Structure 1
Amino acid sequence: MKLLARILRYQIMTSLLVLFLGAGLFFVSVRYLIDDEVNKELLNSQIKVSWQLRNIDALPVYILQLGDSLQLDAVRYPRRPILREKLLYNIAENQYHPYRQLIFYERVEGQWYKVTISKLLVQRQQLMNAVVMTVTFIVALLLISLLVLNSVLSGRIWRPFNKTLAALDQYQLEKHEVLKFPEEETEEFEKLNQSVTQLTERLATTYQNLKEFTENAAHEIQTPLAVILSKIEGLFQDETLTESQLIALSEVSEAANRLSKLNQALLLLTKIENRQFLAGTEPVNLSPIINRKLRDLEDLIDQRRINIKTELQPTGPVMHPALAEVLVNNLLTNAIRHNLQNGSILIALSTGKLEVKNTGNAINGNPEQLFERFRKDTSQSASLGLGLALVKTICQVNGQTLSYNIENEWHVLTVTWQ
């Protein structure tokens, strides 16, 4: 959920809570004031009625206000006076009305009387309801106005932050970009933009230094390796070497070749991750690349007596042609290297999917762990453990999906794209 939407939701919830609590509190307060006023009037009426009962034979009709009523009932014993509300039926209007009643007891000429004074509450309740509704409406209108105003102001205030966020989403380190922003009036956002600018400057500098170091290191390592391999080739021509010396020299040559391949693979992996290959603009047809790589690997295929079956359509993803070559080469090399003697390979290329199946030994654990660098099958010590890591990196850079599944004796590598 977006921050502004979350803030607005909390504000609405808080405003509604304040509105309901405020309206309830105001209603209780007004109700209390009206009840208190009615109680005072009833007590004043009690004083008048008590005085007239003791001093006058008949009560005058104007002792109570319009709508009020007075009732006298003879009783044997007095009780405690009470105040209560009660609905009484009005014969004239044929409906019930709320009344506030005061019941007390007076002794007149040796006889106890129960005196009930009833005060009509219709007008007071109508007034109370009108006041409460009016005030509630005003408060609700005020809260809605504040929410609308706050929403509009929040959108304007957070606009620079959204611009900065959009710029960060589109930021590409490999282009050596340094993000710069126009000056903002809000101090906090101005500091944020300055921090982002300084951060991208440091990132661009660090990235450039790392790139130069990688390229220089790979170049400097490759040169002495080439010299070593050349010297080894020359030593092989020396007829005075003993058999043990030739074996040791052969092991040195194998290690030097392995180191040279490792250096080239790591350099290629770094270049791919740093996006030094330009993004493709058109789909690359993988079908001729697959056929060409199969011809290049024909000797290795024949040596292991592997049966190849292909179902190829002229299609492929949008990517750099050089990366397409590496992708196909590593998938096929992996299928051959980790296959069984007299095994099989099935290659299917269709719209949006390349699938390479090969027979092979069972592996322990999650097969997708083989996408990690230097992760390999222990029985294949000659492998660098970078082939599938290169394939995974190429797929990530180009927005493709790579999966590894095992179906009975088949190891299935699948590359999908939109």
Structure 2
Amino acid sequence: MRLLLRILRYQLVTSMIVLFLGAGLFYVSVRYLIDREANKELFQSQVKVRWQLRHLDTLPVYILQLGDSLQLQPVAYPGRPFMRETSMLNLAENEYQPYRQLVFYERALGQWYRITISKMLLQRQRLLETVVMTITFIVALLLISLLLLNSWLSERLWKPFYKTLGKLDHYQIQQHETLQFKKEETLEFDQLNHAVTQLTERIAAAYQNLKEFTENASHEIQTPLAVILSKIEGLFQDETLTESQLVTLSSVSEAANRLGRLNQALLLLTKIENRQFLAGTDPVNLVPIINGKLRDLEDLIVQRKINIQTDLEPVGLVIHPALAEILVNNLLTNAIRHNVENGKIIITLRERFFSVKNTGKILNLNPERLFERFRKESTASASLGLGLALVKTICEVNGQNLKYDIDNEWHTLTVSW
């Protein structure tokens, strides 16, 4: 609706500008016509007065028209004629009213006279105001009608566009769907929908091919890795190997194991992003999962001399059980691995959040970047750099929020829902 509102705003501004400019131009035009007509009448009156002065033995003293006046003032010398507007007191109504005056000089009966013909403009001014207000009202009514009609038409014409936009907003590539639209009356929107349909078909096909390639590649890597590890294990049983050969073989074994873990982690990430782990409707209680993982990691906890504190309520979140175990395992493993000797871990589970707080070293980078794949604090670390990336992906897929807070030596990862 933002585009439509912007169009309506531009139309309203343009209409107001046209209305004010049109009203001003119309007022000036009507005022010019009225002034020209008043000047014409004054010059006609001038001709009459001159004729009377030249052909009669007495000075003209009659009223030219109702509301107009004629004044004669004897002067010693004539001057230049001129036209002016002024206000004069109307004794009948006891108020000042606008007049247009023509001043000229004429000789009569052996004397120069300054002659002033005054023409009242009150009726013309009222007529001007009435005409301008009426026309302005009609133009304003017309502009408002056109604006409302244009608004209604724009909303109706753009409705297919916003319908297409809404479908694109809810488009899920993981569902391998192709967007379909009804035929529209507007040719341009019908062409747009056809292009969107073709685009989503290509995207769905490319996504499916990429998904199959990733799964097949991961599956095919497992077999040669298993063979390599099996051969390495057999070579370790060979007593004829020298110490340098055993060291080299250990490096190869470690690299192969790391490659295997990396392959499994990437495959798991792909499956999570493809939404192959669908959550049920009932929440999964995290307390048994947390306690079970702490028992599994007990040897590592004792080795690092880490003090564990738990504050758990029997609550959980709606998530696939397998993803719940991965989530808890990665958060606890991360807290242990990046802890310090004689450190502490505080595990809190409440109705709306699950947090793991641990002591550790001060980070040299933005903690939010640790959620990126293969991102870790030190390149010397044995970690794959996928633990928190997995947690982040699980939270995004299931609609939870993941936050990393640092307070001096304390690092807190919080999952809220």
Question: What TM-score results when the alignment is normalised by the length of structure 1?
Answer: 0.96
Select between 92-101 and 196-205 the one with higher mean Cα deviation: 92-101
Structure 1 partner of 2:339 = 339
Structure 1 residue 76 displacement after superposition: 2.7
Structure 1 partner of 2:150 = 150
Structure 1: gaps spanning 5 or more residues: none
Structure 2 partner of 1:305 = 305
- For residues 217 and 78 of structure 2, what CA distance do their matches in structure 1 show? 112
> Can you list the C-alpha shifts for 1:149-184, whole angstroms capped at 9, x where unaligned?
111111211111121111111211111111111111
- For residues 59 and 202 of structure 1, what CA distance do their matches in structure 2 show? 102
The yes-or-no answer on 1:129 pairing with 2:129 is: yes
Structure 2 partner of 1:266 = 266
Structure 1 residue 61 displacement after superposition: 5.6
- For residues 240 and 300 of structure 1, what CA distance do their matches in structure 2 show? 34
- For residues 395 and 302 of structure 2, what CA distance do their matches in structure 1 show? 30
- For residues 212 and 253 of structure 2, what CA distance do their matches in structure 1 show? 29
Aligned amino acid, residue 355 of structure 1: S
The yes-or-no answer on 1:18 pairing with 2:18 is: yes
Structure 2 partner of 1:365 = 365
Structure 1 residue 309 displacement after superposition: 0.5
- For residues 379 and 203 of structure 2, what CA distance do their matches in structure 1 show? 41
Is the 2:365–2:377 Cα contact (8 Å) retained in structure 1?
Answer: no
Structure 1 residue 60 displacement after superposition: 4.9
Structure 1 partner of 2:179 = 179
The yes-or-no answer on 1:353 pairing with 2:353 is: yes
Is the 1:347–1:357 Cα contact (8 Å) retained in structure 2?
Answer: yes
Structure 2 partner of 1:244 = 244
- For residues 414 and 404 of structure 1, what CA distance do their matches in structure 2 show? 7
Structure 1 residue 21 displacement after superposition: 0.7
Is the 1:48–1:63 Cα contact (8 Å) retained in structure 2?
Answer: no
Is the 2:405–2:412 Cα contact (8 Å) retained in structure 1?
Answer: yes
C-alpha spacing 1:332/1:326, structure 2 compared with 1 (3 Å): same
Q: Determine helix, strand or coil for the equivalent of 1:269.
A: helix
Structure 2 partner of 1:194 = 194
- For residues 189 and 59 of structure 1, what CA distance do their matches in structure 2 show? 84
Structure 2 partner of 1:82 = 82
- For residues 362 and 61 of structure 1, what CA distance do their matches in structure 2 show? 108
Identity %: 74
- For residues 352 and 110 of structure 2, what CA distance do their matches in structure 1 show? 110
> Can you list the C-alpha shifts for 1:229-273, whole angstroms capped at 9, x where unaligned?
112222222233232222222221111111100000111112222
Structure 1 residue 51 displacement after superposition: 2.2
Select between 188-197 and 163-172 the one with higher mean Cα deviation: 163-172
**Number of positions where the alignment pairs a residue of Structure 1 with one of Structure 2:** 417
Structure 1 residue 283 displacement after superposition: 2.4
Map residues 293-332 of structure 1 onto 2, 5 A cutoff: 293-332=293-332
Select between 72-81 and 99-108 the one with higher mean Cα deviation: 72-81
- For residues 284 and 70 of structure 1, what CA distance do their matches in structure 2 show? 105
Q: Determine helix, strand or coil for the equivalent of 1:351.
A: coil
- For residues 377 and 365 of structure 2, what CA distance do their matches in structure 1 show? 11
- For residues 45 and 407 of structure 2, what CA distance do their matches in structure 1 show? 98
- For residues 408 and 402 of structure 2, what CA distance do their matches in structure 1 show? 20
Q: Determine helix, strand or coil for the equivalent of 1:258.
A: helix
- For residues 108 and 88 of structure 1, what CA distance do their matches in structure 2 show? 27
C-alpha spacing 1:311/1:379, structure 2 compared with 1 (3 Å): farther
Q: Determine helix, strand or coil for the equivalent of 2:290.
A: helix
